[in-house]
């Protein structure tokens, strides 16, 4: 009796991060519906609290390696690391939105509630090796994020973003399910390793399974924004409210990559499998890097430029997947979390009531008028470009050197050249901020403590991870030392 | 002296003191220009004083790095590992010596955003010194790249009319080279790992391992490209005139005096010792490029209308001689190259400062706008002449010692190249003295009476250089003595060519089964 009691307690503990987030989401959404006060900030605090609780439970289950539902939900360290990242990004978005929502006329409760649901979807996605559970997480994430993208209901580009995201996302979801059906039909299992176990005895990978896997990869590629499945990304990232963009450029990407890594890290060690998928993924990585970077060169809006840069970073991250380099992948994700959120938070700060300044020309002379904001953005951009001693450099160093170590020499060269292209447009922003004088002086409302807290923490993370990532690196390596 | 030096992490202090000063400046009020300038100058002077302690405490007889500090940093062979030997010591000194002068020289030239300017100059100093003291390849690369950022801002914000173009060109050229080098570092990193099972990026470890010839070739080209852009070696020099002409005086001085040396230093520290066989194989081709650079740079300098671009092209020519000496791969030439690197840093630095002095008065750098300035500026004329004669290699000044050593060494290895290389002496005398005649002599052209002689502040940054120019011309032994050990060791390391282990696989197509136990992450 007591055994089953303690078992159910541990089950509860394992599910606690998820439960905390979902409960938070429900509370916030209900409160939003019934709340009479105009000031919705308390809802933001509730959401933050829910995320903090999830974070607490995540840390608690660190060394326990819990699995539930017959192994369909597993909280290994890899999953926990990513869940922690999702909690961090969730918190960052909530804090950024507190003031932003009021200024832009968004309902904070809706934003936070949907955000928590999306985070729950991410958590499910990364903590399973069962296709159906992953799909479940993917759908929870998708539905919430379609709505998030369209939160600015009066804004045409936001509605367009939502519609586009929804249509393309539905296709991707259909691809996923169809691929799943093929894989299931060919291998008779829904686990990630099912087709591998089958493959080792057979002469070659079954065609149906290969096609199915290809479809699934395409669907995941859509979520991660990998070329040629990235076309939706710039419009959605640009149209969505800025805090939501922060979430969209990181969350689905990280979760999709985590699923890819769980699937491919063992699979790419299989010679026959690698023969097909390793070149395919390499080509996609190169395409993604160059498509993102070359398109970013021509942008007139910083938000859109960062959207393309986000695509390019998917390409760099894919390099880590191809070389099966888990620690570098996670480290890159952490670094990207900080520098990307930081850059977008500067963008969020560049706003007034009902207006956002995203055009590059609005940044002219920023170095003189808002020196701290400009200095912060410069650090983030330099980090995104991969200049030492920032986190971005170290992340690229690990990913690319891992690729060379695993023999993907050409891929590393392509990645390095793509970074060179990226330097041109990141520096262009700095040129505009410091070396051009502004004509139409934009006036921003500087009063926004929560946003500045996010900005400062991102800055701290970006610099700290570039100089002394010691503990984090050790933690990541320890987390991935088993199981992969 | 040695006792104090032994107990302090002197190398690190010298490296990071300017950075600390820069961070301190952040808390100054931007309006208190005077305080900012004084503080920046004080920090850089303190750094120079400490580098003198380094100089006097340096023994140099053994040729191994001294003042070594080592601490684990990121793990897996990426350590914090710094120290100085006879090759890097003087470049550190040069940097620490010129930074305060560069700051002092911009007191009148830079009046806009002084705080930011001083901040970037100090950060740049940390980056430059860091490159010279790094004994770990990763650390070297971090400083090498990080240094680009302050230079980018210095040219881009305080530069001339085409500053944005010039600074972007500078960054993209340099980054192209260094990113290729980065791939080279990856390959080296994994090759070392493959060979020994451990991780290391310590330069001494890497130099101690033998690489197969074809791998050496590729790696030498990858590293060489980064260094050749920086030197700049013909035909990769096109960023240099733009960057120099558009940069503010302080930027030009540091660019010419220190940044260009990094390319040559890179060859001496990494390119040649790590890949000696490839270096030997490529040295004829690179020597030819260096000779082309000497002659091309000299001829281009002759026809320039702008004084700054004249000095910039003279740098191409002089760096050509230095590279020719570096690729001669013998003792005299290497020592000459090192000495000439210091000379060029001093004399070109002084020339840029002199151009800055003239520009501050008349706001033009075109040679045709000047004439007979010596009549109004006799003291300045004397100082400028000293800098020019040093650059042209007049016996008794430092340039002569360096050039003669270089040419002796080059002659020992290749007589034809030496004969062609001598043309640098003739050419530099021609374009410099002709410049002097046009600007300082002839009918006076000073319609608004703006030519005044140098004031005390300007004397304060010109005289130290001239004193050093004379001192190094008369007593080269003081400096050469400290270089001898390291250069001898360097030349010795090139002669030992153990047979390459052919069993090594290049990191191109590793067999999947070959997984080393050392790879902990899996």
Could you tell me the sign of the dihedral formed by the alpha carbons of A415, A421, A423, A429, in that order? negative
Whether B193 and A405 lie within 8 Å, measured CB to CB? yes
pLDDT recorded at residue A35: 80
- Give dist(CA B479, CA B471) in Å, integer: 10
Angle between the A131-149 and A156-187 helix axes, to the nearest 10 degrees? 170
- Give dist(CA B168, CA B48) in Å, integer: 31
Structural domains of chain A, count: 1
- Report the residue of B149, B156, B174 to disrupt the A interface, i.e. the one with the largest count of A CBs within 10 Å: B149
CA atoms within 13 A on the CB side of A356: 26
Name which of B164, B507, B521 is nearest A407 (Cβ-Cβ): B507
Dihedrals phi, psi of A359, to nearest 5 degrees = -70, 145
Residue (of B180, B284, B195) closest to B229 by Cα position: B180
Q: Does any CB of chain B come closer than 8 Å to the CB of residue A431?
A: yes
pLDDT recorded at residue A318: 93
Q: Are B472 and B46 in contact (CB under 8 A)?
A: no
Q: Is A350 a member of any domain?
A: yes
- Give dist(CA A281, CA A258) in Å, integer: 15
Distances in Å between the Cα of A285 and the Cα atoms of A281, A322, A360, B359 are 6, 9, 28, 51
Strands B78-84 and A351-352: unpaired
CA atoms within 13 A on the CB side of A394: 28
pLDDT recorded at residue A314: 93
Q: Tell me how far the alpha carbon of residue A225 is from its chain's centroid.
A: 10
**DSSP calls for B186-220:** HHHHHHHHHHHSS---BHHHHHHS---HHHHHHHH
Q: Chain B interface residues facing chain A, Cβ-Cβ under 8 Å?
A: 73-75, 113, 138, 141-143, 145-146, 148-149, 152-153, 156-157, 163-164, 167-168, 171-172, 175-176, 179-180, 182-183, 185-187, 189-190, 193, 507-510, 512, 520-522
Count the Cβ atoms, other than its own, within 10 Å of residue A53.
Answer: 18
Q: Does any CB of chain B come closer than 8 Å to the CB of residue A480?
A: yes
Q: Are A307 and A249 in contact (CB under 8 A)?
A: yes
- Report the residue of B26, B186, B199, B215 to disrupt the A interface, i.e. the one with the largest count of A CBs within 10 Å: B186
- Give dist(CA A139, CA A288) in Å, integer: 24
Q: Are B143 and B212 in contact (CB under 8 A)?
A: no
Q: Would you write out chain B's pLDDT as a tens digit for each of its 522 residues? A: 455 545 778 888 899 999 999 998 888 887 888 888 899 999 999 999 999 998 888 887 888 888 888 888 887 888 888 888 888 999 999 999 999 999 998 888 888 888 889 999 999 999 999 999 999 999 999 999 989 889 998 988 888 888 889 888 898 899 899 999 999 999 888 888 888 888 888 888 888 777 888 888 889 999 999 999 988 888 888 888 888 888 888 889 998 889 989 999 999 988 888 888 888 888 889 999 999 999 999 999 999 999 989 999 999 999 999 999 999 888 888 999 999 999 999 999 999 999 998 888 888 888 888 888 888 888 989 999 999 999 988 888 888 998 999 999 998 888 888 888 888 888 999 999 999 998 888 888 877 778 888 888 888 889 999 999 999 989 988 888 888 888 888 888 887 654 444 334 444 444 343 444 333 333
Segments in B363-475 forming alpha helices (H): 373-376, 378-392, 398-413, 415-421, 423-440, 456-474
CB < 8 Å to A364, chain B: none
Count the Cβ atoms, other than its own, within 10 Å of residue A35.
Answer: 15
Has residue A250 got a pLDDT over 90? Answer: yes
Name which of A387, A404, A407 is nearest B146 (Cβ-Cβ): A387
Has residue A195 got a pLDDT over 80? Answer: no
Q: Are B219 and B274 in contact (CB under 8 A)?
A: yes
pLDDT recorded at residue A459: 93
CB < 8 Å to A393, chain B: 142, 145
Give the model's confidence band at A286: pLDDT under 50 very low, under 70 low, under 90 confident, else very high. very high
Cα Rg of chain B (Å, integer)? 23
Q: Which domain holds residue A456?
A: 279-484
Could you tell me the sign of the dihedral formed by the alpha carbons of B269, B271, B272, B275, in that order? positive
Name which of B149, B180, B510 is nearest A387 (Cβ-Cβ): B149
CB < 8 Å to B509, chain A: 407
Angle (CA) B92-B94-B95 rounded to 5° is 65
Q: Are A197 and A273 in contact (CB under 8 A)?
A: no
Whether A416 and B182 lie within 8 Å, measured CB to CB? yes
| A residues 321-380 closer than 8 Å to B (CB) | 325-327, 368
The minimum CA-CA distance between B507 and chain A, rounded to whole Å, is 6
Nearest Cα residue in chain B from A272: B512
The minimum CA-CA distance between B276 and chain A, rounded to whole Å, is 23
Dihedrals phi, psi of B231, to nearest 5 degrees = -60, -45
- Report the residue of A394, A435, A462, A469 to disrupt the B interface, i.e. the one with the largest count of B CBs within 10 Å: A435
A-B CB pairs within 8 A amount to 102
Collapsing DSSP to helix, strand or coil, B295 comes out as helix
Q: Does any CB of chain B come closer than 8 Å to the CB of residue A275?
A: no
Angle between the B89-109 and B476-495 helix axes, to the nearest 10 degrees? 130
What average pLDDT does the segment A131-154 reach?
A: 90
- Give dist(CA A437, CA B197) in Å, integer: 55
Q: Does any CB of chain B come closer than 8 Å to the CB of residue A274?
A: yes
Whether A405 and B507 lie within 8 Å, measured CB to CB? yes
Dihedrals phi, psi of B366, to nearest 5 degrees = -75, 135
Whether B183 and A413 lie within 8 Å, measured CB to CB? yes
- Give dist(CA B415, CA B329) in Å, integer: 14
Whether A481 and B156 lie within 8 Å, measured CB to CB? no
Residues 6 or more apart whose Cβ sits within 8 Å of residue A424: A297, B168, B172
Nearest Cα residue in chain B from A368: B113
Name which of B164, B179, B508 is nearest A435 (Cβ-Cβ): B164
- Report the residue of A81, A387, A474, A475 to disrupt the B interface, i.e. the one with the largest count of B CBs within 10 Å: A387
Collapsing DSSP to helix, strand or coil, A481 comes out as coil
Q: Are B83 and B5 in contact (CB under 8 A)?
A: no
Angle (CA) B217-B218-B221 rounded to 5° is 85
Q: What is the pLDDT of residues A430-458, one digit of tens each?
A: 888 888 776 666 777 767 888 899 999 99
Widest pairwise Cα distance in chain A: 75
**DSSP calls for A319-340:** HHHHTT-HHHHHHHHHHHHHHH
What average pLDDT does the segment A178-187 reach?
A: 87
- Give dist(CA A287, CA A293) in Å, integer: 10
- Give dist(CA B32, CA B93) in Å, integer: 30
Which ipTM value was assigned to this complex?
A: 0.87
CA atoms within 13 A on the CB side of A455: 23
Q: Are A451 and A355 in contact (CB under 8 A)?
A: no
Whether B185 and A401 lie within 8 Å, measured CB to CB? yes
Residue (of B219, B150, B152, B218) closest to B185 by Cα position: B219
Q: Are A198 and A227 in contact (CB under 8 A)?
A: no
Whether A404 and B190 lie within 8 Å, measured CB to CB? yes
The minimum CA-CA distance between B184 and chain A, rounded to whole Å, is 10
Distances in Å between the Cα of B65 and the Cα atoms of A14, A148, B70, B397 are 55, 59, 12, 29
CB < 8 Å to A269, chain B: 512
Name which of A388, A401, A431 is nearest B164 (Cβ-Cβ): A431
Whether A325 and B521 lie within 8 Å, measured CB to CB? yes
Could you tell me the sign of the dihedral formed by the alpha carbons of B186, B191, B197, B203, in that order? negative
Has residue A374 got a pLDDT over 60? Answer: yes
Q: What is the pLDDT of residues A405-416, one digit of tens each?
A: 888 889 999 999
CB < 8 Å to B520, chain A: 477, 481
Segments in A127-231 forming alpha helices (H): 131-149, 156-187, 194-201, 207-224
User: What's A420-471 look like in SS3?
Assistant: HHHHHHHHHHHHHHHHCCCCCCCCCCCCCHHHHHHHHHHHHHHHHHHHCCHH
Whether A401 and B186 lie within 8 Å, measured CB to CB? yes
Angle (CA) B91-B94-B98 rounded to 5° is 145
Has residue A369 got a pLDDT over 90? Answer: no
Nearest Cα residue in chain B from A411: B183
Whether A400 and B183 lie within 8 Å, measured CB to CB? yes
Q: What is the pLDDT of residues A101-125, one digit of tens each?
A: 888 888 888 899 999 999 999 999 9
Angle (CA) B57-B63-B64 rounded to 5° is 85
Angle (CA) B516-B520-B521 rounded to 5° is 115
The DSSP output letter for B442 is: S
The minimum CA-CA distance between B261 and chain A, rounded to whole Å, is 21
Q: Does any CB of chain B come closer than 8 Å to the CB of residue A421?
A: no
Residue (of B398, B391, B375) closest to B479 by Cα position: B398
CB < 8 Å to B180, chain A: 416
């Amino acid at each position: 009796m007591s055994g089953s009691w303690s078992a159910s307690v541990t089950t509860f503990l394992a599910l606690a991060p998820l439960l905390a987030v979902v409960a938070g989401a429900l509370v916030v959404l209900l409160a939003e519906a019934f709340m009479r006060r105009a000031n919705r900030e308390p809802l933001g605090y509730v959401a933050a609290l829910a995320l903090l609780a999830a974070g607490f439970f995540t840390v608690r289950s660190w060394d326990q390696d819990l699995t539930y539902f017959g192994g369909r939900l597993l909280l290994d360290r890899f999953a926990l690391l990513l869940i922690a990242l999702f909690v961090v990004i969730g918190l960052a978005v909530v804090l950024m939105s507190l003031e932003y929502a009021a200024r832009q006329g968004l309902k904070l409760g809706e934003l936070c509630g949907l955000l928590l649901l999306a985070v729950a979807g991410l958590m499910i996605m990364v903590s399973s090796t069962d296709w159906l559970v992953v799909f479940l997480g993917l759908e929870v994430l998708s539905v919430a994020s379609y709505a998030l993208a369209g939160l600015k209901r009066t804004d045409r580009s936001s509605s367009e973003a939502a519609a586009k995201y929804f249509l393309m996302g539905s296709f991707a979801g259909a691809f996923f399910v169809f691929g799943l059906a093929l894989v299931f039909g060919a291998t008779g299992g829904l686990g990630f390793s099912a087709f591998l176990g089958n493959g080792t005895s057979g002469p070659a990978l079954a065609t149906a399974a290969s096609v199915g896997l290809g479809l699934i990869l395409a669907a995941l590629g859509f979520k991660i924004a990998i070329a040629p499945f990235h076309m939706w990304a710039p419009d959605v990232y640009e149209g969505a409210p800025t805090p939501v963009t922060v979430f969209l450029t990181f969350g689905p990407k990280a979760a999709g990559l985590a699923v890819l890594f769980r699937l491919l890290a063992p699979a790419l060690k299989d010679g026959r499998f690698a023969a097909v998928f390793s070149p395919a993924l390499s080509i996609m990585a190169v395409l993604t890097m160059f498509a993102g970077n070359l398109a970013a060169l021509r942008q007139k809006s910083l938000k859109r430029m960062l959207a393309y840069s986000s695509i390019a970073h998917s390409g760099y991250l894919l390099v880590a997947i191809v070389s099966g380099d888990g620690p570098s992948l996670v480290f890159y994700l952490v670094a990207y979390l900080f520098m990307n959120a930081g850059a977008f938070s500067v963008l969020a700060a560049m706003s007034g009531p009902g207006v956002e300044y995203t055009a590059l020309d609005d940044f002219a002379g920023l170095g003189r008028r808002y020196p701290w904001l400009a200095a912060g953005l410069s650090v983030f951009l330099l980090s995104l470009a991969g200049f030492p001693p920032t986190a971005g450099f170290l992340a690229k160093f690990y990913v690319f050197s891992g690729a060379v170590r695993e023999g993907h020499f050409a891929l590393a060269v392509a990645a390095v050249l793509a970074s060179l292209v990226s330097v041109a447009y990141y520096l262009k922003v700095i040129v505009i901020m410091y070396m051009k004088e502004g004509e139409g002086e934009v006036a921003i409302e500087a009063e926004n403590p929560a946003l500045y807290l996010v900005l400062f923490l991102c800055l701290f993370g970006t610099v700290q991870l570039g100089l002394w990532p010691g503990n984090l690196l050790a933690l990541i390596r320890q987390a991935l030392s088993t199981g992969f | 002296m040695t006792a104090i030096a032994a107990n302090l992490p002197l190398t690190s202090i010298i490296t990071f003191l300017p950075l600390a000063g820069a961070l301190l400046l952040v808390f100054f009020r931007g309006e208190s220009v005077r305080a900012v300038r004084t503080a920046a100058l004080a920090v850089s002077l303190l750094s120079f004083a400490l580098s003198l302690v380094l100089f006097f405490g340096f023994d140099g007889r053994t040729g191994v790095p001294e003042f070594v500090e080592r601490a684990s940093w990121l793990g897996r062979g990426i350590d914090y590992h710094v120290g100085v030997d006879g090759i890097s010591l003087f470049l550190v000194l040069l940097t620490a010596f010129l930074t305060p002068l560069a700051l002092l020289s911009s007191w009148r030239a830079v009046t806009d955003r002084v705080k930011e300017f001083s901040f970037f100059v100090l950060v740049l100093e940390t980056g430059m010194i860091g490159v010279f003291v790094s004994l770990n390849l990763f650390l070297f690369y971090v400083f090498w790249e990080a240094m680009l950022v302050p230079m980018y801002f210095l040219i881009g914000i305080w530069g001339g009319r085409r500053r944005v173009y010039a600074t972007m060109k500078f960054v993209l050229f340099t980054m192209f080279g260094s990113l290729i080098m980065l791939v080279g570092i990856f390959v080296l990193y994994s090759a070392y790992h493959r060979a020994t099972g451990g991780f290391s990026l310590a330069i001494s470890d890497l130099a101690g391992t033998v690489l197969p010839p074809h791998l050496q070739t590729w790696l030498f080209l990858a590293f060489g490209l980064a260094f050749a852009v920086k030197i700049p070696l013909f035909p990769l020099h096109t960023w240099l005139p733009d960057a120099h002409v558009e940069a503010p005086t302080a930027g030009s001085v540091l660019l010419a005096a220190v940044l260009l040396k990094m390319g040559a230093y890179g060859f001496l520290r990494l390119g040649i010792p790590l890949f000696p066989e490839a270096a030997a194989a490529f040295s004829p081709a690179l020597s030819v490029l260096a000779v082309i650079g000497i002659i091309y740079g000299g001829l281009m300098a002759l026809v320039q209308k702008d004084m700054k671009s004249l000095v910039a092209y003279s740098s191409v020519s002089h760096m050509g001689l230095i590279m020719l000496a570096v690729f001669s791969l013998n003792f005299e030439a290497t020592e000459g190259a090192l000495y000439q690197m210091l000379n060029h840093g001093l004399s070109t630095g002084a020339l840029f400062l002199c151009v800055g002095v003239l520009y501050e008065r008349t706001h033009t750098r075109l040679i045709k706008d000047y004439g007979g300035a010596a009549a109004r500026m006799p003291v300045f004329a004397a100082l400028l002449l000293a800098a020019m004669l040093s650059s042209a290699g007049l016996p008794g000044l430092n340039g002569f010692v360096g050039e003669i050593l270089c040419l002796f060494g080059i002659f020992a290895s290749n007589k034809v190249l030496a004969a062609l290389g001598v043309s640098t002496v003739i050419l530099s005398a021609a374009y410099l003295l002709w410049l002097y005649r046009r600007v300082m002599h002839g009918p006076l052209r000073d319609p608004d009476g703006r030519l005044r002689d140098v004031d005390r502040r300007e004397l304060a940054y010109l005289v130290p250089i001239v004193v050093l120019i004379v001192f190094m011309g008369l007593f080269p032994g003081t400096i050469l003595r400290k270089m001898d050990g390291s250069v001898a060791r360097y030349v010795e390391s090139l002669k030992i060519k153990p047979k390459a282990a052919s069993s090594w696989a290049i990191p191109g197509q590793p067999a999947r089964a070959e997984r080393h136990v050392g790879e902990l992450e899996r």
